[in-house]
Amino acid sequence: MNWTHRPPWIITVFALLFCAGVVLILSIQLGQSYRNEQEHARTVAETRAIVLQSQLSSALAQLNLVLGDISQQITPQQLSGLAMSEDERTVLHGLLLDKLTQVRQASNIALINAAGQTTHEALDDQQTHISLPEDDVAMIRNNRYLERVYLTLRPESSSKAPVLLLARRVEDSNGDFAGLIVASIAASYLSPLLEQADAPPNQVIEIQDQEGFPLAALRGITHRSASIPFDLNPDALAESRRQARTITALSPAAAGNRLVSYSAIPDTPLALIVSSAAADYLRQWQRNTMLYLAGGAVLLALALLMSFFFWRSHRLSRNLRSKELKLQASENRFRQVIETTPVALLLARLPDCFVTYINQRAAQLFDLPQAAALSMRALDFFQDRDQFVDLVYYAQNGEPAKNVEVILRRHDGAPLWATLSLSTVTIDEQTVLVIGMNDITERKRLEEELKRRATTDSLSGLANRAHFMERSESELIRSKRYGHPLSLLMLDIDFFKQINDSFGHPAGDQVIQRVAEIARACLRDTDLIARMGGEEFAILLPETALSATLDAAERLRHAIETHLVITPEQHRIRFTTSIGAAQWCEEDQSISDLLKRADNALYQAKQTGRNRVCADN
């Protein structure tokens, strides 16, 4: 689709639709990625809460088993601390120490009698000392269905950590309250347990008792020394205790909503709270959002820029189209002039000389389609490529060729003569050869024919008398200059008149033609053979002494003597020749003198019986 030919409003509508599409795609992508990030954060928070819940529940269950084991190994008397010897106290103390070493989550194990007094402790340490308020002891004493109780010892000052107590009820044989076996779980155990989770800067993890008092907490660097930075959802916590599963809900906070997971520890009044801040789990989403928005802004800017350029292109294309129409009209006129010109015209670019244009007359001249010539080079049409290179060289140096006769080559390789004009012009900063040609093949053929007729005997095809005399004079001058030998033969057909009278003039003409053929076959290519008139022939032998001339004459005479001519009427004709020979000497001033001496020798051959060779001495 060529957009530059479309109305401008189509381009504007397309740009607006593209911008709207970009905004819609960005909105959908950002909304979906936000939901994905929130769901991922919810899954991470719940997974972290479940893992911590499982670890804490397992630790408390293990501690309860140890306390139950202790309750099976001691008596109510030992629990009360009365009437015990020193050895019994030592054994009981060793039992408590042994059980304490089995559970690393406990900081101390103590026995408390029915009056609420601590009778024995595994560790006699002030920092881990276990004592219960009388109200708590009374509450357990009066509720016989409380087998296991979790109590929180809150510190008197903020510098001390709270202590979680697990108290197991012990009864005597009558089912009456005998006392308690109590284990303390200090924050020194709970805090490392929470620290196993890699807390982001704004995350908060906290373990609370049944009254919401924090037993241990893990907080990111942002809230490390502050209270919980959000409002707890009591309904979600109650739902978690009721359904015994992790509940995640959004809680409002000053710095943005937080995802809070509430997990109740099974069989305990404790709760685990894991909170993730939007600033943490949406950090990557916010970065991606900025990238999406930046990319969208770039796309919108590109769309607007493209719209502007399309608009500009539309205006430019209209102006260009108008100029193209004018240029095309001008080009059509130019082509019309070129195609109708009577001169074959060819254009080729420099320096590679590839044809860029050829008119119909030139294509007909070279006998090939116009399109085929566009894949050829101008020098492919020249028989002599060096001549073409010279013409181009002189044209580039300001000496164009005008009406130069050259031999060109048709597409099938056949030569043709033409007058050629060659010059260079510059078109669009490109140097172009302009070659105009006129076919003169027929004229050259007529010239060659006239030349041939002027120098050749029409019947025999040999040189005529005038050409023979001209060539012979040149050879004579050369022989005189260099002192080379030169000989001449005069040949006459014996009884030629009788052949004409007996068989007719066509037979005589056939005999003359046969003599010419035999002479060309017996003599050298450098020897000049001419028909001087009638049945008389002259043969010039350059670079040949008289002895060699006589041998050549004898061969020629013998070949003629043994030859048989059969006419169309089936007449069988045998004939002979007489030959006179002469060699150039210093007394000969011209070729006529040499001819005269050879003619004298011919006369002598005829007078002495014909069919022989005589030499002029």
**Domain 343-445 bears CATH identifier 1.10.260.40:** no
Helix (H, G, I), strand (E, B) or coil at 260: strand
Query: Hey, which bits of 29-187 come out as E strands?
Result: 108-113, 118-121, 148-153, 163-171, 177-186
Comparison of pLDDT for 500 and 42, the residue scoring more: 500
Domain 456-615 belongs to what architecture?
Answer: 2-Layer Sandwich (3.30)
> Catalytic annotation on 535?
yes
Compute the 3-state secondary structure of the chain and give helix, strand, coil in percent, each to the nearest 5. Answer: 50, 25, 25
Give the pLDDT score at 520. Answer: 94
What is the sign, positive or negative, of the torsion defined by CA atoms of 166, 171, 176, 177? negative
Average pLDDT over residues 256-282: 79
- pLDDT tens-place string over residues 330-377: 666 766 666 667 778 888 888 888 888 888 888 878 888 877 877 788
Domain 37-281 belongs to what architecture?
Answer: 2-Layer Sandwich (3.30)
Give the pLDDT score at 241. Answer: 76
Give the pLDDT score at 544. Answer: 94
Alpha-carbon distance of 129 to 118, in angstroms, equals 9
Q: Which of 49-53, 364-368, 488-492 is modeled with the greatest confidence?
A: 488-492
Whether residue 351 is preceded by a cis peptide bond, meaning omega within 30 degrees of 0, is yes
pLDDT over threshold 70, residue 253? no
CATH 3.30.70.270 in the chain: give the residue spans.
456-615
Give the pLDDT score at 1. Answer: 45
pLDDT over threshold 70, residue 132? yes
Find the DSSP H helices in 263-422: 278-281, 283-340, 360-366, 370-373, 385-396
Q: Which of 174-188, 335-349, 436-450, 575-589 is modeled with the greatest confidence?
A: 575-589
The answer to whether 426 touches 396, Cβ cutoff 8 Å, is no
Average pLDDT over residues 192-202: 70
Give the pLDDT score at 228. Answer: 63
Q: How confident is the prediction for the chain on average, in pLDDT?
A: 83
Alpha-carbon distance of 148 to 347, in angstroms, equals 112
Catalytic residue among 134, 535, 536, 587: 535
pLDDT over threshold 60, residue 134? yes
Give the pLDDT score at 249. Answer: 76
The answer to whether 162 touches 152, Cβ cutoff 8 Å, is yes
Contacts of residue 613, defined as CB under 8 A and 6 or more positions apart, other chains included, come to 550, 553, 554, 557, 578, 579, 580, 581, 605
Average pLDDT over residues 600-611: 94
**Hey, how many other C-beta atoms are within 10 angstroms of the C-beta on 17?**
11
Give the pLDDT score at 575. Answer: 94
- pLDDT tens-place string over residues 365-415: 888 887 787 778 888 888 888 888 888 888 888 888 888 888 888 888 888
Give the pLDDT score at 553. Answer: 95
Give the pLDDT score at 105. Answer: 84
CATH 3.30.450.20 in the chain: give the residue spans.
37-281, 343-445
Alpha-carbon distance of 60 to 6, in angstroms, equals 79
Helix (H, G, I), strand (E, B) or coil at 518: helix
Lowest mean pLDDT among 50-54, 156-160, 169-173, 499-503: 156-160
Comparison of pLDDT for 176 and 244, the residue scoring more: 176
The answer to whether 289 touches 19, Cβ cutoff 8 Å, is no
Give the pLDDT score at 505. Answer: 92
pLDDT over threshold 70, residue 9? no
Give the pLDDT score at 331. Answer: 64
- pLDDT tens-place string over residues 87-128: 888 888 888 889 888 888 888 899 988 888 888 888 877 778
Which pLDDT band, with edges at 50, 70 and 90, does 3 fall under?
very low
Which pLDDT band, with edges at 50, 70 and 90, does 593 fall under?
very high
Lowest mean pLDDT among 126-135, 280-289, 490-499, 598-607: 280-289
pTM here is 0.46
Average pLDDT over residues 589-601: 93
The two tokens of residue 465 are: 């008398």
